Structure 1
Amino acid sequence: MTSHRIGSIASETLRFTFDGTRYHGRADDTIASALLANGVRVVGRSFKYHRPRGIMGYGVEEPNALVDVTLNGVTTPNLRATTEQLVDGMAVQSVNASPVAASDRNGFIDRFAQFLPAGFYYKTFIWPDWHRFEPSIRAMAGLGRLDPANEPPANNPQIAAFCDVLVIGGGPAGLRAADQASKAGKSVMLVEDGREVGGSLLSRSAEINGQPGLEWALQVAAALQAAGQRVMTDTTAYGVYDHNLVALWQRRPGQSDAQWRVRAKEIVVAAGAIERPLIFPDNDRPGIMLSDAALSYLARHNVLVGRQVVLATNNDRAYSVADALRRAGAQVTVADLRSGAREGAVANARIEAVHGAKGVEAVTISGKRITADCLLMAGGLTPSVHLHCQAGGKLRYDETIAAFVPHENLPGLKVVGAAAGQYSLNEILGVGGEAHPYAIAPAWPQRDAKGRQWVDFQNDVTVKDIALAERENFRSVEHLKRYTTLGMATDQGKTSNMNGLATMAALTGQTIPQTGTTTYRPPFVPVPFGVVAGRRRGEFFNPVRRLVLEREHRQSGANFREYGGWLRPAWFGGANGPANIRREAMAARTTVGILDGSPLGKIEVIGPDAGALVDYNSYNTLSNLKPGRIRYGFMLTESGVIYDDGVTSKVSDEHYVVSCSSGHVAGVVARLEEWRQDRFDPSRVFVHNSTPQWATLTASGPKAKDLVTALGLGVDLNDAALPHMAFADGSFDGAPARVSRVSFTGDRSYEITVPSTKAAALLAAMGEAGKPLDAVLMGSEALLLLRAEKGYVIAGKDTDGTTMPHDLGVAGPMQKRQNEYVGRRSLFTENAQRTDRQHFIGLTVEGEQMLPVGAHGVERVNKKRRSIGFVTSSYNSPTLNRPIALGLIERGMERKGEVIDLVHLGQTFRARISDPCALDPDGARLNA
């Protein structure tokens, strides 16, 4: 390709390097346009065979030109040269090449291509052991290389916005839709992926309302802004999600990129269409390019991509490209695959060969060799239906344009313009304008085609690879995609998927609609991690939550650790954690311990359907509680696995308070809200997270009742009035106070909940009331020890991603409940009913040494050792004066009394399987 810049080079002031060679470019250049202007042919290597590749597209559809870019000493990998703006001082490096794209020493791999067909890795390296080959294969995998110094600051803003109409695409169709909505008095956002609005008008001449098309586009955009509407360029709509939520990636020169989350009453998708390549032998040579891309480089950057050009087409749109190239000084031969070619074109043309190892030198058309330095492909347009499909839209195949288009518009989302298969300005605008004729004749790959014909250019998928997939029965397009990696490259098949499924259709004898399409998923283009993460990096990744009483706890000598995302006292006293934890635990067993349990969930469920919602969300039935009573239970995932445990309090038939573990509050709120909206009438039940509004302090131990009595809360604490698993409302310091009789220690316990503003006063009052009782402040570590003595479960610590309620010995609801609840059906699957499931058990240690958490129980089978489970919790019990442990062991409930071996880091231990509860199995201490 002997491309060059047309016109003056006085403005070419930007300096950059590519693979170590110095070049210059202009301020309006992308990396791709600058490379083309400097005559660079080979810009990369294909992923699998390391074949030389050149620039093929103009925008996000580009499959070949991926580069690493170093600027100001920091390297960013895998940027698309066609969309990355040129900056002075850039150092651009080709990827997947050693040392550089023009002379890649791994290019020899292509000579062995016949031995490396689709599925080669799956078939070859499974024997004798994949792990022997994995390190070498992984070392060769990947494209660009990460730079450890590339640590972008956490300053990508996350912006929420609302509008009546969100228009995606700033071409003629999008501008018209935005203009109409604005004039109708609606709030409008128009987002355009490119640096300026105009779409096809930026490269193709047209007249609209008596003025040049691009001038019309700029006037419409200016009018929108003057009307107070938002027009955003350099902004990509990359995903459509539930409830008309659209995610936008905004590039902001001189600032960090931003992510917008837009809720719109109506979404208008005017995303245009992408030109398709044609399939013929050696169609991947550098110098082979899409015709629309060549036109854009000429019109927008004054770059002529070749002087002797062959343009292969199956539609009429290509002729205007040929005319533009000729006016710029190129010799153009049009090879029309149709019989009805225009005058001067080669009719019924067949591209039989492309000559030139590292770039186009000649093209053989229907037996005639033609000297050429560039071959352009115009295989028709594929509408950009990605966002429509992400929103759940279906497609239909339109024979007249040989492409899939939206079957029908969705509620709140419509597709217009080229994205809907409308390729004429008259059709798009409904006004006077030059129509761009199309008249396409399908030119799909042929099943009996000769030679190597490339379908996916980045991942090296050929027609023969697709034929192999068909022979091996990978005929579903989803199977085809995964078997051959068709459409799995960084361009996500924007130029390959349509040709790929057409090839499979030809091979199977099906129609293209019968063959179908793969699933469209966000993001539409690769989005930087930083944009998605926003400011959630470093200490902001998961900001620690702080107790309202943190200052008071620090004054009392608390040592803090993080539990469930909360910074909480681990123990009080000096740095000797084990001694202080033992002291607190012993005091809580003999006198009374005071614990800050404020982070525990306090999620209110209110309304006529409140009982039905909490029942559906819980493994246990909760609606049959009496007001003032509390019930312990589990929440399950849809797969039947324990998600969380906790207690639920019934205030009335229409008011429940769900308490869950500290780290799961947000998740439980999301679950309740999801099912509220999905399964129930949202007007009949409401979910409110009141956890931050209330503080909870717990008194636990034999003297807990004496301490709470001294507070004068106005609550009858007699066991008959306030039994275990009940609550009553009183007051403290002129504010409401709720006293709940629940225990996570196995001793008599009272949870006192007051407004957060009263937390400090309550803690001080409990401290004063506790002095004559020898009360102690207790941290989380002592609580965890006390609950382990009782065999109480902590979800996520004593359970894993497979644990179900009956693995803990709680099978009653599964056996008795007949109504639906989350996870119910999964509890009756073959996997759930296996007899070798791991059960929650206790482990009585032989000797005085604690079992390490994570130690595996083992048994020998055929002289080989296999794991039968593992230790989940392990402590030295001060109450029992011996080590205790909990674990998940295969068939553990059936094996009580059995002594098993456990191994950890080369050490072997022995323990006897026992009941989880090691202290007070009859529960007498709860009422002592």
Structure 2
Amino acid sequence: MTSHRCAEGGTAIDRTDTVGFTVDGRQYFGLAGDTLASALLANGVRVMGRSFKYHRPRGLMAFGVDEPNALFTVTTDGVREPNVRATEIEIFDGLAVESQNRWPSLDNDLMAINQLGGKALAAGFYYKTFMGPVIGPLKGTRFWMMCEHVIRRAAGLGRPGTAPDKSRYERINAFCDVLVIGGGLAGLKQAHEAAETGRHVIVCELEPRWGGAADGKKESEIRQIVESLESRPNVTLLTRTTVWGWYDGNMLAATERVSDHLKTAPEGAPRQRHWVIRAEHVALATGALERPIVFPGNDRPGVMLADAGRRYTETFGVLPGQHLAVFANNDSAYATAAALRHAGANVRAIVDVRPEIGAAAQRLADRAGGALKLGHAVVGTSGAKGLKSISVARYNHETRSFSGGAEEIETDCLLVSGGWSPVVHLASQAGANPVWDDALQAFLPPKPDAHWSVHGAAAGDLDFDHDLSPAPAPVFEIGHPGKAFVDFQHDVTADDVRLAHREGFRSVEHLKRYTTLGMATDQGKTSNVPGLAIMADALGKPIPDVGTTRFRPPYTAASLGSIAAERYGDLFPHRLTPMHDWHGDHGARMYAAGHWERPESYNRPGETVEQAYVREAKTVRSGAGLVDVSTLGKIDIQGPDAADFLNRVYTNGFAKLPVNKARYGLMLREDGFAMDDGTTWRLAENRFLITTTTANAGKVMSHLELCLDVHWPDMRVHVTSVTDQWAGAAIAGPKSRDVLAACVTGTDVGNDALPFMGIVHGAVSGVPVMICRLSFSGELAYEVYCGAHHGTHVWEALMAAGEPFAIAPYGLEALGTLRIEKGHVTAAEIDGRTTARDLHLDWMLSSKKPFVGSAMMNREGLTDQSRWTLVGVVSRSGEKLHGGSHVVAGDRDGPGPGLGHLTAMAFSPEINAYVGLALVEDGGNRIGQHLYATDPVRSGTHIPIEIVSQHMVDPKGERMHG
């Protein structure tokens, strides 16, 4: 291929298969198995990126997710994915990428003029320059307002596209006994040990191959373990899978890159798959990352981490350079030097800050050849767009002093090793605080507990071959004049870190935000520890006393497409009811209701949404309608103390509720405000089913768990969310009983057998169902529940039974209309600011027992007669009302004092007018008053209204009790 490709070797490549790809429209060729990084390196490409601020030319530094420089935009069918590391892009025929953060080209970037800015572009320069006072009238923020557009265009790296992503994504939930993160030798051994005990094991490795950073000598052992694991049914092996988030309860998030490396995905295969893994035990075998050393000119293309140079040679058969030098503070770089010499490179020199090395390192130095310069340091580099030479001076690392003059050594590649940092990111996400290890000069994960463990290099067990010592000299920076970089992507220099200290930013979190150290796409994988060391030196403190910043998910970038998966394209992922497909097949307009996708209305050809919901509401009032209520929160309560528990969390009594009866209930927060309303069904002596509003299902579940875990841990009660286990359909209208009688078997549904709030068990079309007679519409109504997987079958049977009675499905708009006419409340009224009295639900406040919120509900502010209370409103002009409008006094010419707001509105076919519910100051005493609903910002309307009772239809409830 080129002079950079070795004549032999390369465990990942197929030398018989040439692959063509383009960068900025220019054609290149690599080998099957190459990454974009290795292919460009083999083609002699040195500049692969431009830095964020100074636009300095940058080349490859690392081998994997720690790469800070070589970022590209991948373009596929017009879709742009920016900031993808060249080290993670596997090439295929037709791959097209663009370089970033340059104009007009990567080799000739006019923005490189920023390098002349010097100290004027130091940390925080934009605040000081553009936000502070300026000569003349441009003071304060005025100058910033003038410059902001140009600054924002110059900032950033890759440019995202606007074309829709047509790729398919999947998500999967998985459960295992042991999750092993890392497919190196240490991780594979842990997986094998766990698998032999019969436990279900999942192993995730972010690279395409097993073995991690292990050298070729361990290839046979790795292959044997992998083959053994592949043969076991209790083991799932996932390559190209990055575990990027660790959350409560040992729940971890991962992204599997299923077909990113292929020109065309296999039929049915997604591009990426989002894994949510719940594990009993997590075994971290995430390895360690090599650190750079901070010295002047350390960012020049050709300066690379030492182990990255070894891995490019062994994995892809690519030499990082022809004439190499090595700069180190530890033994591991000597093995790299010897390996590259064996592969054909000319090792010009090994520079080590330590005055002495061990016998094993000395043997490797002899094999590598070249000058061995102990007690020396690299103090500078030269070369315009690639390394040409390094400057080396004698250095005493204990006194940090130099002696003698600098020596020039010609070299096109400098391999740097500043020690190793175990990957503690995931452990930190789980809440563990890293612990400093003085011998390794690195942070290690703390002592694990029963739920997780750490192994191999991640635990600080740096198992180097050749009897090499893993302990580095405590050297992070070579303090010599010149621009020395700590964070390569964000152009944070050692001087920036010291400037932050001088300006008072002495917390590591403040340092991070002021300098942007560690805030780039690599999240400080190469820069954090050197930056902390320089900060510690400025403070005159040991590194562990300075501490670390908190690592947060994601460990590395995760695409929004994979997280949204099947719901990709929506603003938010939505949950679907069991009858979702039926709704779509029958003309339903779907929209988001909380986390659910629900039918808005079933529009006939030519109908507007308003015309559809008015028709549907009329059908319910005159005959029968069917609505999907599967989204209601459903919580199963079981245990000897279940009745007593409900008595404590509800404002009204439940202890004496008979079996097979339901009761409407209200929950308060501890501060006395209303939290949620719903019904509770007593299914047996010690078993209840709570139904909650759709919006507050999660909140109520959390509240019940808090009460049991914190307030009353001795109560013998289990609460289980069963929302997804039950499909629900509410049938309402004066003919609803006739519909049920036509299809329900195994039980009578007449008034005597099934009175108001009664519960019966029977079957519909052979499917067991549970039926409760209750009403949200104000009409005679029933809720029918069955197992979720039978939901569509039961729904269709109910629709078929209702055909003689002209039954029709209805959506949320009609449901809202019916409940507004009846004066029933939802989360729109129970908004966290209202009390039971505000909602006229004080009849549910028991005076015979204490309950959550009872101690606080009678505070003076919550019983004030002038509070906003629930009322009905009717448009007096016939104009359409708008939810959220202010209710005000005044006249037709303009609004007066504000008195409240509309919580909901609809056109009422019963009243033949636009109506709504509102929370209005002293609302109970305003019945009959004429006020206005004003909406000056959105619609510009100012509509005359009349305040009426919230019970606008059937105030005595005769219909639903009939």
TM-score range relative to shorter protein: 0.7 to 0.9
- Residue in structure 2 matched with residue 430 of structure 1 by the alignment: none
One of 841, 860, 878 as aligned partner of 1:848: 878
CA distance in 2, matches of 1:833, 1:350: 77
For residues 733-763 of structure 1, what are the alpha-carbon distances to aligned partners after superposition, in whole Å with 9 as ceiling and x for unaligned? 8998866554434x45342536566666666
Question: Would you say the 8 A contact 2:18–2:30 is kept in 1?
Answer: yes
Question: Would you say the 8 A contact 2:888–2:896 is kept in 1?
Answer: yes
CA distance in 2, matches of 1:865, 1:289: 71
One of 427, 452, 462 as aligned partner of 2:483: 452
1:66-105 to structure 2, matched below 5 A, reads 66-70=71-75, 75-105=80-110
Task: Evaluate the alpha carbon distance shift between residue 913 and residue 54 of structure 1 in structure 2; reply closer, same or farther with a 3 A threshold.
Answer: farther
The aligned amino acid for 2:636 is: E
Shift of 1:641: 9.3
One of 159, 182, 193 as aligned partner of 2:206: 193
Task: Evaluate the alpha carbon distance shift between residue 587 and residue 335 of structure 1 in structure 2; reply closer, same or farther with a 3 A threshold.
Answer: closer
For residues 132-167 of structure 1, what are the alpha-carbon distances to aligned partners after superposition, in whole Å with 9 as ceiling and x for unaligned? 6655444444422334556243254636353x5443
Task: Evaluate the alpha carbon distance shift between residue 609 and residue 77 of structure 1 in structure 2; reply closer, same or farther with a 3 A threshold.
Answer: farther
Question: Would you say the 8 A contact 1:597–1:698 is kept in 2?
Answer: no
- With 130-139 and 373-382 compared, the bigger mean Cα shift is at 130-139
CA distance in 2, matches of 1:109, 1:835: 66
Shift of 1:276: 0.5
- Residue in structure 2 matched with residue 209 of structure 1 by the alignment: none
* 2:29 pairs with 1:24: yes
Partner of 1:199, secondary structure, is coil
Partner of 2:881, secondary structure, is coil
CA distance in 2, matches of 1:456, 1:820: 57
The aligned amino acid for 1:6 is: C
1:134-153 to structure 2, matched below 5 A, reads 135-149=149-163, 151-153=165-167
For residues 74-132 of structure 1, what are the alpha-carbon distances to aligned partners after superposition, in whole Å with 9 as ceiling and x for unaligned? 65432211122222333332111122221112222333353343334456358249776
The answer for unaligned runs of 5 or more in structure 2 is: 10-14, 132-139, 266-270, 363-370, 394-404
Partner of 2:530, secondary structure, is helix
For residues 884-927 of structure 1, what are the alpha-carbon distances to aligned partners after superposition, in whole Å with 9 as ceiling and x for unaligned? 33456799899996657431446241446846716269646576
Shift of 1:193: 2.8
One of 334, 355, 358 as aligned partner of 1:339: 355
Question: Would you say the 8 A contact 1:572–1:778 is kept in 2?
Answer: no
Question: Would you say the 8 A contact 2:674–2:836 is kept in 1?
Answer: no
Partner of 2:506, secondary structure, is coil
For residues 562-593 of structure 1, what are the alpha-carbon distances to aligned partners after superposition, in whole Å with 9 as ceiling and x for unaligned? 5744655836988556567556656766x665
One of 307, 321, 346 as aligned partner of 1:306: 321
One of 691, 697, 710 as aligned partner of 1:659: 691
CA distance in 1, matches of 2:79, 2:305: 33
The aligned amino acid for 1:689 is: V
For residues 759-789 of structure 1, what are the alpha-carbon distances to aligned partners after superposition, in whole Å with 9 as ceiling and x for unaligned? 6666676776x79xxx998665444223223
Task: Evaluate the alpha carbon distance shift between residue 854 and residue 96 of structure 1 in structure 2; reply closer, same or farther with a 3 A threshold.
Answer: farther
Shift of 1:309: 3.3
The aligned amino acid for 2:84 is: L
* 2:290 pairs with 1:275: yes
Task: Evaluate the alpha carbon distance shift between residue 6 and residue 543 of structure 1 in structure 2; reply closer, same or farther with a 3 A threshold.
Answer: same
CA distance in 2, matches of 1:828, 1:461: 58
Partner of 1:466, secondary structure, is helix
* 2:324 pairs with 1:319: no
One of 531, 537, 550 as aligned partner of 1:500: 531
Question: Would you say the 8 A contact 2:630–2:723 is kept in 1?
Answer: no
* 2:438 pairs with 1:399: yes
- Residue in structure 1 matched with residue 453 of structure 2 by the alignment: 414
For residues 464-488 of structure 1, what are the alpha-carbon distances to aligned partners after superposition, in whole Å with 9 as ceiling and x for unaligned? 3333433444433233323332212
* 2:388 pairs with 1:388: no
The aligned amino acid for 1:903 is: P
Shift of 1:681: 8.5
1:370-381 to structure 2, matched below 5 A, reads 370=408, 371-381=410-420
- Residue in structure 2 matched with residue 354 of structure 1 by the alignment: 381
The aligned amino acid for 1:32 is: A
One of 517, 522, 535 as aligned partner of 1:491: 522
- Residue in structure 1 matched with residue 401 of structure 2 by the alignment: none
One of 606, 611, 626 as aligned partner of 2:638: 606
The aligned amino acid for 2:167 is: P
Task: Evaluate the alpha carbon distance shift between residue 516 and residue 923 of structure 1 in structure 2; reply closer, same or farther with a 3 A threshold.
Answer: farther
Partner of 1:4, secondary structure, is coil
Partner of 1:647, secondary structure, is strand
Partner of 1:633, secondary structure, is strand
For residues 249-280 of structure 1, what are the alpha-carbon distances to aligned partners after superposition, in whole Å with 9 as ceiling and x for unaligned? 33445444444444444432222110011112
Question: Would you say the 8 A contact 1:393–1:407 is kept in 2?
Answer: yes
Task: Evaluate the alpha carbon distance shift between residue 260 and residue 352 of structure 1 in structure 2; reply closer, same or farther with a 3 A threshold.
Answer: same
CA distance in 1, matches of 2:144, 2:281: 51
Shift of 1:524: 2.3
- Residue in structure 2 matched with residue 109 of structure 1 by the alignment: 114
Shift of 1:460: 1.8
For residues 497-539 of structure 1, what are the alpha-carbon distances to aligned partners after superposition, in whole Å with 9 as ceiling and x for unaligned? 1122222222333322222222223332223334333333369
CA distance in 1, matches of 2:486, 2:98: 26
For residues 779-832 of structure 1, what are the alpha-carbon distances to aligned partners after superposition, in whole Å with 9 as ceiling and x for unaligned? 65444223223443332x5576x65557955797999999896x9999999999
- With 560-569 and 61-70 compared, the bigger mean Cα shift is at 560-569
Task: Evaluate the alpha carbon distance shift between residue 782 and residue 198 of structure 1 in structure 2; reply closer, same or farther with a 3 A threshold.
Answer: closer
- Residue in structure 2 matched with residue 63 of structure 1 by the alignment: 68
- Residue in structure 2 matched with residue 630 of structure 1 by the alignment: 663
1:889-900 to structure 2, matched below 5 A, reads 899=932
- Residue in structure 2 matched with residue 7 of structure 1 by the alignment: 7
For residues 637-659 of structure 1, what are the alpha-carbon distances to aligned partners after superposition, in whole Å with 9 as ceiling and x for unaligned? x9999875432234455222222
The aligned amino acid for 1:68 is: T
Task: Evaluate the alpha carbon distance shift between residue 778 and residue 350 of structure 1 in structure 2; reply closer, same or farther with a 3 A threshold.
Answer: closer
Partner of 2:376, secondary structure, is coil
CA distance in 2, matches of 1:901, 1:113: 57
CA distance in 2, matches of 1:196, 1:345: 35
CA distance in 1, matches of 2:77, 2:631: 48
CA distance in 2, matches of 1:865, 1:47: 54
The aligned amino acid for 2:825 is: V
1:419-430 to structure 2, matched below 5 A, reads 419-424=458-463
Partner of 2:665, secondary structure, is strand
- With 39-48 and 82-91 compared, the bigger mean Cα shift is at 82-91
CA distance in 1, matches of 2:626, 2:925: 37
- With 448-457 and 541-550 compared, the bigger mean Cα shift is at 541-550
- With 753-762 and 812-821 compared, the bigger mean Cα shift is at 812-821
Question: Would you say the 8 A contact 1:613–1:675 is kept in 2?
Answer: no
Task: Evaluate the alpha carbon distance shift between residue 310 and residue 634 of structure 1 in structure 2; reply closer, same or farther with a 3 A threshold.
Answer: same
Partner of 2:450, secondary structure, is coil
Percent of aligned pairs sharing the same letter: 34
Equivalent residue pairs, number: 890
CA distance in 2, matches of 1:682, 1:132: 64
The aligned amino acid for 1:685 is: H
Question: Would you say the 8 A contact 1:547–1:566 is kept in 2?
Answer: no
Task: Evaluate the alpha carbon distance shift between residue 521 and residue 551 of structure 1 in structure 2; reply closer, same or farther with a 3 A threshold.
Answer: closer
TM-score of the pair, normalised by structure 1: 0.81
* 2:185 pairs with 1:172: yes
Task: Evaluate the alpha carbon distance shift between residue 127 and residue 715 of structure 1 in structure 2; reply closer, same or farther with a 3 A threshold.
Answer: same
CA distance in 2, matches of 1:109, 1:866: 57
CA distance in 1, matches of 2:390, 2:864: 65
- Residue in structure 2 matched with residue 365 of structure 1 by the alignment: 392
- Residue in structure 2 matched with residue 443 of structure 1 by the alignment: 475
- Residue in structure 2 matched with residue 570 of structure 1 by the alignment: 601
Shift of 1:620: 4.1
CA distance in 1, matches of 2:469, 2:284: 23
- Residue in structure 2 matched with residue 207 of structure 1 by the alignment: none
Shift of 1:858: 8.7
For residues 604-641 of structure 1, what are the alpha-carbon distances to aligned partners after superposition, in whole Å with 9 as ceiling and x for unaligned? 3222353466578x6746644623341233587x9999
Question: Would you say the 8 A contact 2:876–2:946 is kept in 1?
Answer: no
Task: Evaluate the alpha carbon distance shift between residue 257 and residue 825 of structure 1 in structure 2; reply closer, same or farther with a 3 A threshold.
Answer: farther
One of 239, 242, 252 as aligned partner of 2:245: 239
For residues 686-706 of structure 1, what are the alpha-carbon distances to aligned partners after superposition, in whole Å with 9 as ceiling and x for unaligned? 5263776565444456x9899
1:751-762 to structure 2, matched below 5 A, reads 751=782, 753=784
- Residue in structure 2 matched with residue 127 of structure 1 by the alignment: 141
